Chain A
Amino acid sequence: MDTHPANPPPNYTEYHPRWYRRRVSTYWWLGSWPYVRFILRELSSLAVAFFVVLTLAQIYALGQGAQVYAELQEWLRQPAVIALNAVALLFAVFHTLTWFNAAPKAMAVRLGGKRVPEWAVAAPHYAAWIAASAVVAWFLLER
């Protein structure tokens, strides 16, 4: 309410209509395709956490000896686990793609007085992804 001295309260009962407020449904995120894509992107963080847990399990198993590590490898071969990991990989790649498309939005790089186009900011990210993946693969595959 405006209580500035230039606006004294009026000398009559103000008419205040009853506003209608619609409550937002718990399933708001199913309302449109962009919303669904958004929630899927957010759920990809679960794949990220899953990867960390998996990696920690691997490191633990390594420390426990060849036998325990072999048991973990056996567990990883089960079809259900393979399926789960395939889904996790899909979400991990989804995270990568959405992350590289989002990063240029936060970085307004200006060169020579003009804004660098978004693909030019995203490109080095993709290059780093390919390069880093190649390095990791080299470390793990040449033995």
Chain B
Amino acid sequence: MAETIQLEIARYSPEHDQKPALQRFEVPLRPEWVILDALNYIKDKVDGSLTFRWSCRMGVCGSCGMMVNGEPKLTCATFLHKYEGKAVRVEPLRYFPVVRDLVTEISDFMRKLKRAKPWLIRRTEKPLAEGEYLQTPEQLDTYKQFSMCINCTLCYAACPVYGLDSEFIGPAALALAQRYNLDSRDQGAEERMLALAHPDGVWGCTFVGECTSVCPEHVDPAGAIQQYKLKAATHWFKSLLKPGG
């Protein structure tokens, strides 16, 4: 294995720059290092102004998502030695505005996540004396996959529909809505349907499928959205037979 590896990192300083530019760094190539280790090495030893988000460094918090050689990846879960022999290009996640260097502005995602109402909605609450809401393993299995989302927004960086139309609610929000729709304890499917069975919601998706390919937690948001489309279409046709609302 070589001693060092080259990284090309997107730098953007809103005070000085009109647009981002790539800056080259040379970092040690240690076999156990991930891209995040290389970024922290640069920040500690070479250029303290390099700005990026990270937290858990173990693939559960969703903070460190960036484009690595054009693909959305969690930098704490991407090994450096895989890129030995080539330059590694690290850029901020695609389709989001860039605040500085590798940090993106994700409040659009946060707002859209809220629209999906990703919490248990009850029309009728059980009195406390009756105990907790019980759920069988089979009931858990229906939505468990969609509950694994860590809100890393890699799927938004992979979705061309979101890139082209910022009104689109996007994969993670829709997958999380479906996670709660399928939860046996939830009674909010109707409420979510009104917000999401919408041209900017489920109907904006053209099933490119890249969101599922890049998801580090194997949530399969594309699958969740197609299931939601079928559900929404069935709901629409049924509502034709029950006029008056």
Interface residues of A (CB under 8 A from B): 17-22, 24, 28-29, 31-32, 34-35, 38, 42, 102, 105-108, 110, 113-115
* A17→B100 contact, CB < 8 A: yes
Q: Please encode chain B, from 78 to 118, with 1 for each CB lying within 8 Å of some chain A CB and 0 for all others.
A: 00000000000000001101111000010000000000000
| A108 interface neighbour in B97, B222, B227, Cβ under 8 Å | B227
Given contacts A31-B70, A38-B208, contact A105 B160 (CB under 8 A): no
Please report which residues of chain B, range 10-62, place their CB below 8 angstroms from some CB of chain A when the two chains form the complex. Answer: 12, 14-15, 17, 19-20
* B227→A106 contact, CB < 8 A: yes
Question: How big is the B interface, by class?
Answer: 20 to 34
Given contacts A19-B99, A20-B98, contact A34 B138 (CB under 8 A): no
What B residues does A102 contact at CB under 8 A? 207, 226
Q: Please encode chain B, from 194 to 222, with 1 for each CB lying within 8 Å of some chain A CB and 0 for all others.
A: 00000000000011111001000000001
Given contacts A32-B70, A42-B206, A102-B207, contact A24 B164 (CB under 8 A): yes
Complex: how many Å from CA A17 to CA B99? 7
For B223, give the chain A residue with the smallest CB separation. A105
Complex: how many Å from CA A113 to CA B138? 5
| A110 interface neighbour in B20, B142, B163, B207, Cβ under 8 Å | B142
Complex: how many Å from CA A38 to CA B212? 14
For B210, give the chain A residue with the smallest CB separation. A34
Complex: how many Å from CA A29 to CA B208? 11
